[in-house]
């Protein structure tokens, strides 16, 4: 997926295609953690001009929130983070299922969860078939 006007200066998807693998996407009959059939590894979307709106409208939080440090770049962290109302969703690359337990990530997640709790929010981590509420 590519840039849009609200992208943090200096950030871009580059060769990252993690959001074409980790989420389940009903519109594309794509289950979680399976590559989209339209994704070309290391290149991107083969139907970019005609990709569905669910793809056009998505940017992960690293792309749009400068509060996420560079260590959260998905190609480095092996995680995709995004907001859904009060929920901060963290999808973990199944090839690195325990990365969210490691530092600095776990401490960041704990801080986000504590901050979110003050306003009724929470952090959910999806790793392989497991779901964790922070």
Please, which residues bridge with residue 132 across strands? 125
Whichever of 67 and 114 has its CB closer to ligand SF4, that residue is: 67
Q: Is 1 in the site for ligand SF4 (CB under 6 A)?
A: yes
Neighbours of 68 (CB within 10 A): 19
Taking the C-alpha atoms of residue 32 and residue 54, their distance in angstroms, rounded to an integer, is 15
| Residues 61-80, mask of contacts with ligand SF4 (x by CB under 6 A) | -xx----------x-----x
Q: Which parts of 90-119 interact with ligand SF4 (CB under 6 A)? A: none
HSE, side-chain direction, 13 A CA sphere, residue 71 = 10
Cis before 96? omega within 30: no
Structure tokens at 40: 């070309």
Whichever of 74 and 117 has its CB closer to ligand SF4, that residue is: 74
For ligand SF4, the binding residues (CB under 6 A) are 1, 13, 16-20, 25, 28, 36, 38-39, 45, 47, 51, 55, 59-60, 62-63, 74, 80
């Amino acid at each position: 997926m590519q840039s849009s006007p609200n992208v943090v200066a200096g950030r871009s998807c580059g060769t990252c295609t993690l959001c074409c693998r980790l989420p389940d996407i009903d519109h594309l009959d794509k289950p979680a953690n399976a590559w989209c059939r339209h994704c070309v590894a290391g290149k991107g979307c083969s139907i970019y001009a005609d990709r569905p709106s669910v793809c056009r409208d998505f940017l992960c939080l690293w792309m749009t929130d400068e509060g996420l440090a560079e260590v959260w770049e998905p190609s480095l962290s092996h995680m995709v983070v995004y907001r859904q109302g009060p929920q901060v969703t963290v999808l973990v690359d199944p090839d690195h299922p325990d990365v969210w337990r490691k530092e600095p990530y776990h401490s960041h997640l704990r801080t986000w969860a504590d901050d979110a709790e003050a306003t009724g929010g929470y952090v959910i981590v999806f790793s392989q078939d497991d779901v964790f509420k922070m």
